[in-house]
């Protein structure tokens, strides 16, 4: 059994001692053997975005009519088409309350239409308030990118009707703070502790869907200090040295196994039990960068929930309040 003290040590060995490994090709086939099966009652905030039977992205429920997901997953082409998923708003569905990646029969699940798509446009990575957004975009010509995708990372979907809370469907347990600024302060304290004492952590969990088992899986991950994360991306691509990840609201986690999370897992939340001195369980960030399922030995990059809260307040004109 892996102990809380040995977990980070294993992670650091994986990140720092093998950064120069030969890169290999890897796809989601390897994801089938990683992670533990779990159920929707344990993580009722996980949802999926579907377009005409095609899986688009994992998503995370934040309010009765709002979910957050990966902007880059929306910016993928629909199979055998020149159009992108974000251009299929009226065919888009959000499925919650289901343990299945693709739900074919409604049991405990709730399926909702998408009223609006909000795609963020970050213009200054050093200022988390310096962003705009595109509403129901048909083109992303004017959207800012970083080295690995859309700079903002996250998108918001406003649903056509409210989700009904149950043991299968409920919002992610965010930090119980009413403003993004308070969230930012709480997240900073959490990160400063791990930056100062990286061995003093227990694993966090990311829950998403397996493409090959069509079911929910949970993957244990550990926080990677930001300097180690930057060095990993620098070695991977020298052109991105000192450039990525640069925004303060980005944080890095790495799977405790050789295989890491995949692009289709983007939009899933990282859930940490060691969030504060009270050992409270919180969703701290949303997965937004996952390269080749870990084949390049890179940590995955996550967007802090405080940025999600800023985005939500900008489009909904109210603070993101945890609930119910």
- The structure's pTM equals 0.87
Q: What band does 32 get if pLDDT is binned at 50, 70 and 90?
A: very low
Total residues belonging to the chain = 324
Between the alpha carbon of residue 64 and those of residues 2, 68, 159, 163, the distances in Å are 37, 12, 8, 5
Query: Using 50, 70 and 90 to split pLDDT, how confident is the model at 322?
Result: low
d(CA 8, CA 251) in angstroms, rounded, equals 16
pLDDT at 150: 93
Q: Does domain 6-38+174-304 have CATH number 2.60.40.10?
A: no
pLDDT at 23 over 50: no
Kindly report which listed range (16-30, 109-123, 282-296) carries the lowest average pLDDT score. 16-30
Q: Name the average pLDDT for the chain.
A: 83
Dump pLDDT digits (tens) for 88-137: 999 999 999 987 766 654 454 689 999 999 999 998 877 888 899 999 99
Question: Is the pLDDT higher at 154 or at 107?
Answer: 154
Indicate the domain borders of the chain. Answer: 6-38+174-304, 46-172+310-316
Q: What's the pLDDT score for residue 114?
A: 96
Q: 191 near 183, Cβ under 8 Å?
A: no
Q: What would the DSSP string read from start to end of 21-50?
A: SPP----GGGGGGSSEE--TTTSTTEEEEE
Q: Are 248 and 128 a contacting pair, CB within 8 Å?
A: yes
pLDDT of residue 265: 92
**CATH placement of domain 46-172+310-316:** 2.40.10.10
**Angle between helix 6-16 and helix 226-236 axes, rounded to 10 deg:** 30
Which tens digits make up the pLDDT trace of 211-269?
766 678 899 999 999 999 999 999 988 888 878 898 889 999 999 877 789 888 999 99
What pLDDT was estimated at residue 123? 85
Residue 34: pLDDT band by 50, 70, 90 thresholds?
A: low
Under the banding of pLDDT at 50, 70 and 90, the label for residue 174 is confident
Query: What CA–CA distance (Å, rounded) separates 223 from 233?
Result: 15
Do 6-38+174-304 and 46-172+310-316 have matching folds?
Answer: yes
């Amino acid at each position: 059994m892996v102990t809380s003290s040995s977990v980070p040590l294993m992670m650091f060995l994986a990140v720092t001692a093998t950064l120069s490994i030969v890169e290999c090709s890897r796809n989601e086939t390897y994801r089938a053997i990683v992670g533990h099966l779990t159920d929707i009652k344990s993580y009722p905030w996980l949802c999926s975005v579907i377009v005409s039977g095609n899986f688009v992205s994992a998503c995370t429920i934040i309010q009765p009519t709002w979910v957050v997901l990966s902007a880059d997953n929306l910016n993928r082409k629909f199979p055998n088409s020149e159009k992108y998923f974000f251009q299929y708003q009226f065919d888009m569905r959000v499925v919650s309350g289901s343990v299945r990646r693709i739900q074919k029969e409604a049991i405990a699940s709730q399926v909702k239409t998408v009223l609006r798509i909000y795609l963020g446009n970050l213009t200054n990575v050093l200022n988390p308030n310096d962003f705009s957004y595109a509403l129901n975009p048909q083109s992303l010509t004017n959207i800012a990118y970083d080295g690995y995708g859309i700079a903002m990372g996250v998108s918001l979907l406003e649903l056509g009707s409210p989700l009904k809370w149950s043991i299968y469907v409920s919002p992610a347990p965010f930090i119980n703070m009413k403003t993004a600024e308070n969230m930012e302060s709480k997240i900073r304290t959490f990160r400063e502790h791990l930056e100062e004492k990286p061995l003093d952590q227990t694993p966090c969990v990311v829950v998403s869907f397996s493409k090959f088992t069509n079911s929910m899986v949970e993957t244990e991950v550990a926080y990677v200090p930001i300097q180690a994360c930057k060095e990993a991306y620098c070695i991977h691509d020298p052109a991105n040295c000192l450039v990525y990840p640069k925004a303060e609201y980005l944080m890095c986690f790495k799977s405790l196994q050789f295989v890491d999370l995949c692009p289709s897992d983007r939009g899933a939340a990282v859930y940490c039990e060691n969030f504060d001195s009270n050992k409270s369980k919180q969703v701290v960030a949303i997965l937004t960068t996952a390269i080749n399922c870990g084949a390049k030995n890179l940590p995955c990059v996550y967007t802090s929930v405080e940025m999600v809260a800023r985005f939500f307040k900008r489009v909904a004109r109210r603070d993101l309040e945890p609930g119910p």
